[in-house]
Amino acid sequence: MYNDYSITKTITPAEYMEMRKAVGWGLFPLEEAQAGLSNSYIWCIRDNGTGSPVGLGRVIWDKGYVMYIADIIVIPEYQGKGLGRVLMEQVMDFIHEQLKPGYRFMVSLCSAKGKEEFYKKFGFVVRPNEDVGPGMHQWFTSEEIEG
């Protein structure tokens, strides 16, 4: 892994949008992407041959008990090689490192359809279950066109 790839703590907004595009996710303005990235913990796996990002992990943390895994992306040509696992291991190590004595964190994520088994490998449980209801979300989109 470490001869072929490096992990950096940054990714540009344009690179981030390219990665989202590569896995068919929605795009948004670079300014909005930059704001989100600036307020996130980032793990970007780069191919040492090209320098390009091929994997991304992103965590948002309120510095209290709430953490959210916002993006785990491996671009299609690089999937199935263990890079998703590397990203999740980095994220899980980070979470454990932040736990001070007596602290508790609730770490949430929205699994893409069919990726639940991937996240279960790292201890996440599917909702709803007998203890908790389903997760819920809503998208908000501006109708305004800039310029």
Ligand X SMILES: CC(C)(COP(=O)(O)OP(=O)(O)OC[C@H]1O[C@@H](n2cnc3c(N)ncnc32)[C@H](O)[C@@H]1OP(=O)(O)O)[C@@H](O)C(=O)NCCC(=O)NCCS
**Could you list the residues that contact ligand X (CB under 6 A)?**
23, 72-74, 79-85, 111-112, 114-115, 117-118, 121
State which residue, 52 or 99, has the beta carbon closest to ligand X: 52
CB of 71 to ligand X, least distance (A): 7
Any idea what the Cα angle at residue 119 is, between residues 121 and 27, rounded to 5°? 155
Which residue number places its CB atom closest to ligand X?
A: 84
Least Å distance, CB 50 to ligand X, is 17
Annotate 64-83 with b (16+ C-beta within 10 A) or e (fewer).
eeebebbbbbbbeebeeeeb
The smaller minimum CB distance to ligand X, of residues 53 and 84, is found at 84
The C-alpha atoms of residue 105 and residue 98 are separated, in whole angstroms, by 9
